[in-house]
Copies of this chain bind each other. A is one copy, B any other.
Amino acid sequence: MEQQSPFPIGPQASPETFTNKVWFNLLVPDEDHSFDTHVYNVNFEPAARTYWHWHPGGQILLVTSGIGFYQEKGKPARKLLPGDVVTIPPRAVHWHGAAPDSSFAHIGIGTQEHLGPIAWLEPVTDAEYGEATAQ
């Protein structure tokens, strides 16, 4: 994948929690818990997306390039463009990823990490993804 923002792309992410190819680069690992926060750069190829998941302490997305989508369970999906900011409340079940025909990149900020790690759920099915992105 070609670099889409000033932040380096990093290695390909585990295929166990993403559909299609995603690259994940941990920019602030916060190993000593000085900040109670993780920061990472995530790049998605077209049609790539996370599984459904939730964060005990919440998450903030800063969109840096491409076209993507964010959806909370039971709500309409929101189309995302560079400069958009998404605030994902603690424990809200959601997914995020690229549009079918565009790559996508965002900075992710994992807040209040002391509340616990991401809880991964099932994949976003092709039917769910198709309905969400048909805008």
Name A residues whose Cβ lies closer than 8 Å to a Cβ of B.
Answer: 5-8, 27-28, 30, 34-37, 39, 57-58, 60, 62-65, 82-83, 85, 87, 89-90, 107, 109, 111-112
Give which listed residue, B34, B60, B65, contacts A28 with CB less than 8 A. B60
Nearest CB on B from A10, distance (A): 12
In the assembled complex, the Cα of A109 lies from the Cα of B90 at a distance in Å of 18
Across-interface contacts of A85 in B (CB, < 8 A): 7, 27-28, 39
Contact A58 to B39, CB < 8 A, known contacts A6-B65, A6-B82: no
Give which listed residue, B37, B63, B112, contacts A60 with CB less than 8 A. B37
Q: List 19 A-B contacts (CB under 8 A).
A: A6-B63, A6-B64, A7-B62, A7-B83, A27-B85, A28-B87, A34-B58, A34-B87, A34-B89, A34-B90, A35-B58, A35-B60, A35-B112, A36-B112, A37-B37, A37-B60, A37-B111, A107-B107, A109-B109
* Interface residues of chain A: helix, strand, loop or mixed (majority): loop
Nearest CB on B from A40, distance (A): 10
Q: Which residue of B lies closest to A27 (CB)?
A: B85
Across-interface contacts of A65 in B (CB, < 8 A): 6
